[in-house]
Structures are given as C-alpha cells and as structure tokens.
Structure 1
Amino acid sequence: MKWSFYKLSLKNRIQILYVLLTFLCISATGLFSYNFAADVIEENSLKLKQTLLNKSVQALDESMRHMIVSPYSMMMSETYGKVMSDVRNENTEHFYQNLSLLQTPFEQLRQVEPAVESALLVTPVGEFYATKDTVISRGRFNLLYQEELKDDSWNVHWVTGHEDTLFQGEKRVVSLILRPLRNTLNNYSLPGVYLMVNYKEDYIRNVIEQNLIDDQIRLFLLKRDGTPVIPTSYPALDEFKDAPFLKNIGDKDQGAFTYANREDEQLINFSALGVSKDWMLVSVQTKGDLLGPMRQIRWLILVIMIVCMVVALMFSSFLSKLLLKPLHKLYNLMLRVENNDLEVRFESKYEDEVGVIGLRFNRMLAQIENLIEEIKISEEEKLKFEIKALQAQINPHFLYNTLNTILWKSESGRSEQVGEMIVSLSLLFRLGLNNGHEITTLRQELDHAEQYMLLQQQCYDNLFTYSLQVPDDPGLLQAPVLKILLQPLVENSILHGFKDMDEPGHIIIEALRAGDSLELRVKDNGRGMDADKLNSQVKQQFEGHSSYALYNIFSRLQLNYGDRASLRFLSVPQVETMVVITIPLH
C-alpha cells in the first residue's frame, strides 16, 4: 500500500490527502459534538432523575411513616392498654377475653391502613391476632426472629419482602415489628411484647412503580448490601451485590454514578429512605436507552460526512489542477531541456515556491550553458596540451639523436646496447601513449621517466647519473597521476641544468606521501634557475610564460585537479635545483 501511494501522480496524492483531511476534520467535529452532547444529556439526566428520585423517596417515606403511625395509634387505644395491664401482671386468665376485645382494634387497623395483610401481637402471656386469620403455630415468631429480638437498639424494625411464615396462605408481605412505646402504660417497660404488622408486598411495589419517571427507568428498593427489599416486575441487576457497585454507594444518603456491566453502561441514582436508613431506592437506566434519540444525530452526521466527502472529491480535482498548473508548465520545460533545448525559460506571475523554483531553474540553465562552454574550452585545452606533451616526447631532435646513437652503436658492433635502446624507446612510446588515456599510475610514470633517462645516458656518455627514491608502498605506486609529468622536468635538467658542466650531473626522482597528497620531486645538481621568478609566474598562472614545458605541466595540473594541485621551484646553483609537484591522492 505504501509503495502504491508513492507511484501515484502528485495530483492524485493531493486529491487523496485533501479528501482524507476533509474526512478527518468532519469526523473529529462530528464525534466531538456527539460525545459532548451525549455527556451533557447524561449529566442532565442524572441530575433530573436524582430530583425525581428524591421526591419518590419522600412519597415512599410518607407511606411507610403512615404504616408505622397506624399500629402505634392502635397501641394508644384503651383496649390495648387493658391487655398490656394483664401482660404486666402476668394474668393469663383473661387471654380469650382480651383476644375478643382486640378484634376491634385489629379491624380498625385494617380499615385505617388497607395495606395491612395481618397483625400479630406477641406477649409473654400469649399471641393475639385477628380471629379470621389462622396462625401456623404459636411461638413461631420468637423462633423466626430471635436474632433481631436480641438487639435492643431499635423500636421499629422492617423486614424485607418474604412469604408470610406466621399465618397460613403463604402471601408475600413486608413486615413491621414494633416494640411498645416507653411512655405507654405509665412508663413501665414490657419486655417480650412485640407488635408485628404484615403489609402487602404488592401495595409497596405499587407505591414504588407509580412514581416511575418513564418506562426506560427501573426502580429498585434495596438494602445497602444490595439485597432487594421486594422483587420487582423486572429482574434486578446481578451487579447490585458487587463490591465496585456498592463502593460507589458507600454510606452516602444519595448520589449518582455510571456503572458498566457486561452488556451496557448503566446510569445509577440512589437515595436512602428516612424511615429505614438501611433501605434505599435505586433507579437504573441503560445509557443506550437514554441516548437512543442521539442515533438520529449520528445518522445525520454520517450523511453530512458523505456529502462533504463527495463535494471535497469534486472540488479537489479542480483545486489540484489549479495548484499544479505552474508545476506542469515547469515539467514540460524540463522535458524540452531533456531534448537539449537549453533556450527555454520559465515565466510565472506567482511568487510562490513554484515561482522561486522556476527562477532557480532559469538560473541553473544559464549556469549549464556557461559550464558547457567552459567544459568545451577546457576539453579543447586539455587535448591541445596532451598533443603538445606527446609532441614534446617525440621531439625530433631527441628522436634524431636516439636513432643516430642506435645506428652508430649498431655499426660499432654493440648489439647488446642497441637492443637495450630499442627496448627503452619502445617502452617510452608505449608508456607515453598509455592506450590513449590521460591518467596513468605512479609506477608507470616513473618507468616512463626512467626509460627516457636510459636513452639519454646512451646518447650522452658520462653526462649524468640518476636514482629513483620511492617508498615501499604498493598502494602509493598504484596511485593515479597524469602521464608525462616527470619526463619534461628530466629533459630540462639534462638539456639546461647540466650544460657546460665539467663533471657528470646527477638526477634524483622522489615520490612520497604527504598526508592526502602525493609529492613528486625532481632534483639535479646543475647550474640552477631563477626559482623566485618561476614561483611568481606560477602564482600568475604563467602569464607571458617563457618555459613551454613548465607551462604545459602547470596547465594540465590546473585542468585536471584545479587548485588542489601545485607546482613549486627551489634552486641553489651548482648545489641543488628541485621541482616539486603536489597532486591529491583522492
């Protein structure tokens, strides 16, 4: 995919990137707007539900307070007082009489509070209840609630929804257990006396569900440990008893939070009841249900994205064409330059990056034309100097002397020396021609100079001796150098340096590495030269030169190496004269 993208045209890449950028911008804006709206709706929904839930708790508290007040009103009756008097006096003789007397308060309790299913008054002298109700067995109350009765800290105790285990019928009830008020019966304490009132579970469920905010919200009456007080018409969440869920509630009286289960995120509101702090009303709404209307907004955002992408795709073609028009013009000019048309020039009314590139393109073409002209002149100069160097090598005077010497030695019967001279002359020409290449190796250049000196020794007996001083460095001997650099210098030493000398001269050729450069030194003990004048002519690039051989060497060095090469002269007449050539090794 990556390489396929690189193979696309610039126009197509601009179109793709433009569409992608449009898509990303619209997507980011749409998602941000959607998430922001969803968060606002969620926050406002939690606040609204908390307000309504608090009102529902107030209504439920009011109903449950009335359920507590009604039994206490019964305890204030004269009949109840007579029964408690017999209980205090442990008088069991009037049990059935008291049972008959209590039928009226029991009936009045049911009339005042229609939610009452049954009532049971437990005393040390016996249990009292409405005779139309049938108890399962006597003494069952103390057996079932012995743990709760051990706790003396409460006067009112609610028991969560359950099947009635005291009266026959197995009806589901919520039980209220009351201890007598301490200001009753002249403040006498009556241990072992309890009034238990069973309220219909359906009644409390209806009180809860009639306060539902809407059908998407479920209300649960729970204990703080997550146990349902009464079952509802819809299943409770399994997470009600989970530690993370209960941790969000803690010991707070009310609050709201978001809880994620296996299916969806749930929006939870809770509020504790006033009549029983251990009970709380919890509302649950699925986040998906709350944000259901937002689905239309999502589809709207999707439609807008598609429309914008189509418009962006259509507009990107026009935009890329407009932006790339100067670039296409520049491209066409480059094609013409590729076909060797260097007269073209780029023109644009824009001063942007492409316009700057076009100006640089024009400048580059002008420089190319100048360079072509300079290279043409340089090549012509190099060819001219190379031809002249070869002409210097086959100087007619040198060739005449050599051939004349060969003839004379041949007639004198010195066939061995004749053979050596012919071999040297052959090697001299072969190394000088170098298969038509301008560059040779240091080893071949030294061999070329040595063959020339061997021939000159044969032509001029006892005129000079020579020596080659080269370090044992195979890499240095293979270094590339210009051909025919040393021979003209050796020729100057023989023809001019040793002229009119009484004793034989001596030529030394040295080659050594000097850092990243190669130094070639040609020394002789001849009559010398004006070194300062020649060094000055080198600095002025031999303007009005008087030595053709030196000018030829210097010009070839400049043409091939530029300022990286140098030519220097040192001279002490009759002692030592030295020419130093420095050329780069790389």
Structure 2
Amino acid sequence: MTTRRTMPIPRVFPALSFKNRIWLSFLLLILIAVSSSGALSHMIAARVLEKNVTDLNRNAIRKSALLLDERLKKITVTAMSGMLDDSFTSTMRDIRLSNPGSYFAHFAELQSWFMLMKVNEPAIESVLVTTPIGDFYPTTEFRLSENSFLQSGMYPIIKEKKHNVWVPEHKDMFFGGKRSVISLVMEPLIDDHTRMDGVYIVVNINVSTLIEALTDEWGVSAADLYLMTLTGSNVFTSLPFARPFLHKPDFLERIAVPAAQPFVYQDARKDYLVDVERIRLTDDWILVGVRPTDDLYKQVSAIQWTTVAIISSCGLLALLFSRVVTSYLLRPLAQLVQLMKKVEASDLTVRFETSRHDEIALVGNRFNRMLEEIALLIEGMKAADRSKRVAEMKALQAQINPHFLYNTLYTIYWKAELAQYEDVKEMTFSLSQLFQLGLNSGRETTTLEKEVLHVSEYLAILKKCYDDWFEYEIDLEEGLQLMRLPKLLLQPLVENTVMHGFQSRKSGGRIVIGIKRIREKISLTVEDNGCGMDAGKVEAAAKSPAGGSSSYALRNIYERLQLYYGSAADLNIESNPGVLTKVQLVVPQDHQELEWEEADERRNNFMRN
C-alpha cells in the first residue's frame, strides 16, 4: 500500500503558473476582504444593537422603579400631610390626655380627613387609625372588629423598625371584602414632633392600581416584571412568579448586590437578561425585570445570517469572475513578458502593441522606447572607437548597477499588479526620464539643470523602491542651470552613497546634493550620513590608475574630469562615519570644450604619470 503525499502550500503555490497564482491571490484577497468586513460589520452592529437593547431595557425598568417610588412617595406624603389637619391634631391631643369621652366626637370629625386622603390619592383603598381609646376608620368601610392591629403581624414589625413600614400584598384583615392590598404602617407625629405611643396608622393601597401603572411603563406583560424582597418573597402575591429560578439562592445572591448591574442568567439552557432596581422608600423591595435574550436579540441573529449569506454570495461571484478578470488584466502583461524573452535572445526588433491606453500600455510604450534607445546606444557604442574619451564615458555607463533596472522594472510590475497606478506612472516616467537624460541624444556634455534632473529621477526611483530608506535634498544655486559639464557626474556618487554608505541602514538615511560657485569655480558636493570610509585611502585610490575595484566609480569620474578640464578640476573626500561623508567635485566655471585630439593627449599623459 502506498501513501499519498500532499505538497505543502509553500511548495504548491510557486509550482502554479503565474496566472493561476494571481487568480488564486485575487480570489483569496476578495474572500478575506469580504469575510473580514462582513465579520467586522456584524460584530460592530451586534454590539451596538445589544448595547441599545440593554440600555432600552435598563431605562424601562428604571422608569418603572421611579414610577413606583413616586406613587409610594405620593401616598406617604398624602398620609403625612393629613396629619396636619386640625381634626387629626385635636384627636391626637385628646388621646394623649387619655380622654376616651371624646372618642365619638373625634370619630365624626375624622370622616372628612379620611375622605380628603382618598380624594388626594385614589390608590388608597382604606385607612385605619388604631389608638388606646379606640380605632378610627371611614364609615364607608365595614370594620372587622375581631381583628385587632396589636394582634396582627404588622405590629411587631413597626415596633422593631421604629419607622414607616411597607407590607407586601395581603388580604385586608381589618375591613370586610377581603381585598388584596399593600399596607403602609406609620406612627403619627404631633405638634412637638414626637411620636404618639400606641397610635398607629394603616393605609391600605389598591394592588391593581400599582400593577397597571407598572405594566404600562414596562411596555410588556407584567409576567416579566417582578416586585420582590431581597429574601425572594413576592410583593405582589396575586401575580405568582413565572420564572422558577427567581427563588434560587444563586439568583437571589446576584440581585442582592447593592447597585447591581444588568446581567445574563442562564436557566434550563436559556439565557435571560436581568435588570434590578431598588425601591428607595422601602427597606428590602426590589423591582426585577426578566426578559429572554432570544426575544431581545432577534435582530442580531438576523444580521448574522444576512452577513453569512452576503459573504457566501460574494465568494461564489469571486470564484466565477476572478479568473475571467485575471485573464483580461494580465493579457498585455503576458505579451510584454514574451517580448522581454525575445529581447533576452538579442532580438531588439520586437515591439509591444496594444489598443489599450492604461498604465500597462504606458509601460509597453516606454519599453518600446527603451528598445529603440538601446538600439541607438548600441550603434553609438560601435562608433565609439573613434575616440577613447567616448570609450571612457561608455565605460562609466557600463558600470551602472544592472540590478537597479531589474528591481525598477519588477517594482513597476508588482505595483501594477497591486493597482498602485499612480506609483507605476511616476516610476515609469522617472525611468524613461533617467534613460533619456543619461543618453543625452549621444552628447557627452550636458547642462547642470539636466544633470540635476537626471540624479533627481534616479533618487525618485530608489525612493519608490525603498520608501523609508533615505531622504534627499538638492540645492542648485541660481544662475548655474545652463552651465555645461560632462554628464553622469552626480549619479555615480549618489549610487556609491546608497549602495555602500547605507548598506547597513534600514531607514533614516539622508543625502544632500549642493551645487554652488566658489570664486571662479563650481563646487558639486554629495553629503550623506552613512557608514563612512577611510577618506584619505579612498581619495588616494581614486586618483591612482592602479586603485582598487572598490573605488572604480570615483576613479572613473576623476579621470574624466582630468580628461576634460586637466589640472583645473579636482576631487576631495571627507568622512566622519555615521555623521557626515562628503565627496566634492571642483570644476572651472568658464571652460571651452577640448578637441578630441587634445583630450586623447591629456589622457595618455595622465596614464603615464
């Protein structure tokens, strides 16, 4: 039995054709982009929606708790303000004096006080004032005389807490009808703000009125809203708990925390959003809102499935159309690659042809122009035997690093693939300008303006290839733009700086090119903050015909200056490694171009010396 081996992805990917790699990359990028944006959009939308739902739920229960607090407060204030009534205060004075003979008179006087309280607060069902001389109550109510307040469960509570007490829902034991009420038990205050011993007021509140008010504010069935004590008792006993977990110890422990925040509670594999608000006028009453998260977050689930559907649809569309789009986009580039292969086989007659007018077409046109210029250059090199000075110039051109052109073309290629068309246009234009200015229509001399433009295009291309490697600055003194001098003086110096001075630097490089008058001469300087050199040793090698290969470019420049200007020109080098390295070329300001023969004679004399 043979084991089938699968090639790892790093080996499979390079084994694919370039077209398939682009297609696969294009497909993967689309899927990653769509999936990432979809997942991020879903995450953001879900979080915002969940927060909004939670906040709305929180606000609803806060309003409900505030409403209940306001109703209880209004009832309390109504009862306490009634104590200021003259009939009530006079009754309390007689009770304090233990005058039972005035019971019936005060009983009649207090009927208007009872009526006024019910008018001010319709939620009040009945009122009982129990005193040592007898009970006072509205004549409209049937008093169950067998049930004494002092024998009820309310009396021990008010005696223990010594302040107003709210009693959860119960059947009214003091009046007929067995109505469900919530009771407020109070000890009245008299004129000197002392409590009356043995006197208690019981205000019974209609439960249905409070439940309806809470339901209207909550906005849903009251089955999801519970008024309970910290011990888990139900305040509204007529509304039994619809959620069994409300009695569980772990649930009660979480809601008993002061200033409890909304939390999610899980019961029977179902999640519930729980909000808690304390009722301020009571000791241990809390309002608890419980809603299933499934009902609250239905829109989140809808967003999730919509996102999945969109991502799947985009994936199918990308699979169907990416190959077609890839083939269409890469067709002219594939044609250009085939032409480059023919050029490698020394066929310079090929030309790139396309009906398109995009960036690739521009590269193709520049490629055609480059081939034409290369052909002209080859023809010019064949005729260069007429002059050794021309040969020296061509030798300098030959030493320009060929990797620069390869790296530039491949950078243009990949930037085109990545749709960075502005960079493609700029690099293509800079490359064409570099070749055009370097060739200089076959002339050996150029102007300072063109020389500066040539080195600027060279630096611009390097900046596009290595963005953060270095910064540069060029300062050309006004009035020197049209001065003529041998071409290709600055570019080799800059290339030396970049390739050798910055070889150990990843970023932070700086190149300053300065051209200015010094008396009757012109100074051309290239300064950098690279790794530096042994200035004396390099300068000596550059001025010596037998110098090493490391100083070949400097020696070539120096020889050409000597051929063109003689002893009137010079080359100087200064170096402080890592701080400042400076190469200076000094040439005469006014100089008539030498004849070919005189240049040859000067070169021979120089080589002999």
Interval containing the TM-score (normalised by the shorter chain): 0.3 to 0.5
- TM-score with structure 1 length normalisation? 0.47
- TM-score with structure 2 length normalisation? 0.45
Greater Rg over alpha carbons, structure:
1
